[in-house]
Amino acid sequence: MIPAGSRQNQRATARSICQHRPRHLLSGLLQCGACGATYTIVGKARYGCAGHRNRGTCDNDRTIARQALEARVLEGLKSALFTPDLVRTFVAEFQSEWNRLQAEADADWTASGRTLEQTKAKIDAVMSVTCSPESPRL
């Protein structure tokens, strides 16, 4: 049994709380335009001002459905980021990075091959000395 106030019990409790909280696309990213507090899930699936709901320090009592807000944000990102120029830039950068990583992998492979050949040569040298007929028997 884990003692109630122990650090191990506190970590286990924190872990279990985090496991029960659902993760949403915009969790921790939204702020109230009136007071600057974060927007959190209020009710079943709606975002609302945490300052209004938890502390009562904000007059903003408006909420928005999570799915509607996420759809708006994703649509805005899609229209802003999927322009032909940006897609072309992304593809060029992706290909450049891919080529760089492939060149690194090829260099590593070549170096590994050289190391293998050197190790085989050393093994052959040791074996030829210890297995030759003129070498003394132990």
Closest by Cα among 57, 85, 67, 87 to 24: 67
Number of domains in the chain: 1
Whether residue 28 lies inside any domain: the answer is yes
Whether residue 4 lies inside any domain: the answer is no
Whether residue 8 lies inside any domain: the answer is no
Whether residue 12 lies inside any domain: the answer is no
pTM for the full model?
Answer: 0.49
Looking only at the bridges linking them, the beta strands covering 39-42 and 46-49 are: antiparallel
Whether residue 14 lies inside any domain: the answer is no
Q: H or E element: which one contains 100?
A: helix 84-130
Whether residue 13 lies inside any domain: the answer is no
Which structural domain, as residue segments, surrounds residue 52?
A: 21-128
pLDDT tens-place string over residues 43-86:
888 999 999 988 889 999 999 999 999 999 999 999 888 889 99
The conformation of residue 6, written as its DSSP 8-state character, comes to S
